[in-house]
A and B are shown apart, each in its own frame.
Chain A
Amino acid sequence: MSFTNDQLERYSRHIILKEVGVKGQKKLLKSKVLIIGTGGLGAPAAMFLAAAGVGTIGLVDSDNVELSNLQRQIIHLTKDVGKPKVVSGQETINEMNPDVNVVTYQEWVSSANIIGIIKDQDYDFIIDGTDNFPAKFLINDACVLTEKPFSHAGIIRFHGQTMTYVPGQGPCYRCIFKNPPPPDAVPTCKQAGVLGVMGGIIGTIQATEAIKYVLGIGELLTGQLLTYDALDMDFRKIKLPLVKDCPVCGESAKIKELIDYEGAVCELKQN
């Protein structure tokens, strides 16, 4: 694969970096990243990955764009209200960068489809941009069972957090958080509110982790939870332990099959 003149110009600020270069940019163009949820986190992650020239981007979301999404889900425009989010996301990416092949999955992830979606393009890295705990645990378990790296994140009010799982290189989400909280116990963005930029900051960190993983550069957030408090403008990295008896990634793991947990009713709302 050789670059066209347009590609050399488009990616020139990457290519000039010694950590990226022509070789790294080619890796990005050949890479495949799956983004589950094209909302507050997934929207900015998808846009930066598209701009960076990630060759294949998968978008999973069953929802349609609503007016209340536009305060933070910047991949969708006012004219997109009512459209499926994956279609709106695909259109924006196509306009941003013709090098990117967008694969859309207009569905919610469940135990029945998630492995098929991950295997559909044999994605290299997965970004969890979902807002609910059944999906977060499902993504974790699916990535552990299929040995795929992924980035977890959550945002609420003025807070955000993210961690990266790479098989064999640190704890998974379940190591730390065990089981989903009971439905309705933890407020969602819709109930609690979220500052629009939170997804931009945390989702862009998720995109950064995906790019670093593909390029094989730097230190990932494996074994570390990065927390961000926007009001105090405070970033902290919390070192996480490896949990030997984790039910999914531990030495004698009991979870061999995916689990569909029950979510709060508002989280399962389908348009």
Chain B
Amino acid sequence: MSEQEVGDPRAAVAPSDESARVEKAGASAGSSRGRHLFSGSAGRNLGLVVALLLLCVVGFATAGERFASVSNLMTILSLGSVLGVVSIGMTFVITTGGIDLSVGSVLGLASVWASTLATQQMADQYGWIVMVVCALAVGLAAGVINGVIIAYGNVVAFIATLAMLVAARGLAELIAQRRTQIVDVASFNDTFKGNLVGVPKIVWIFALVAVAGWFLLNRTTFGRRTVAVGGNREAARLAGINVKRHLVYVYALSGLTAGIAAVMILARTSAGSSTNGTLLELDVIAAVVVGGTLLAGGRGTIVGTVLGVLIFTTLTNVFILNNLDSSVQQIAKGAIIVVAVLLQQRLARRST
């Protein structure tokens, strides 16, 4: 992410000597770095951190020790990790200017497929890896199908992934026959349940995915292409970037994160159900957008997404601790989305 505000040091040279070519700019001296505390990408994240801290203050004030304890922190984190992993994939999709509505359904399908009797039997025989490969493959395949339909079929992402949302959910119901499948594979449960150095293993997975996502978006050619495709698709194409192929990769990545999340759901709840991940896509999109990724594409932030996820999960936690109605919680979520996006637009305008 760039710091657009930093003035060019050379521009500070006054064009005093006309013959020497120092008429570099009509720019005034001095950079305006730090003029606005909350502008620039770091500032945007700072805004989110402040929001998160405020939420924590509210949590502590209303629920006291029950909120501010290590075990509650772990509860928040493991609640947030499923949402978080899917949001990392979604950040890439939205950065290209697209959308993936199918993540919740794909997660459900992957969790069902990875926990069928047949898969579990194979897993008993060959180890937990069978279930993981199954979930990831299902997610990846769904993502590739999305990507191919969108990129090569020229179908709008909204429609293509809406179709996948419906179809994947249907397939999951068909496979599960509306029954919940309990995961009973010892090696799987040993590997993914429980803690590692005091932190739930699924939280570690979230952390790994987030760090990998950050590197992928900010430090690799893959990330640069993602931003370029979202920023100006035609310019990216004319610069020699294979836009269609890249879109397939990005939707595949989103499907893959849904597959990873399916493994995490199985670890957390031990239940493969066709209702897993219902309406997850809405929370995911909300977390990504609140985090500062532009729906129009061209700008994405992993740090923002993680903060967005934490804000929503903490909010849910505070409401639950106070025994508040989930309807009230939804109203609050809606309000947060609007306020956060309004705030961001204001900050974004200031920083240009």
User: Do A and B make up one complex?
Assistant: no
**Interface positions of B (Cβ within 8 A of A):** none
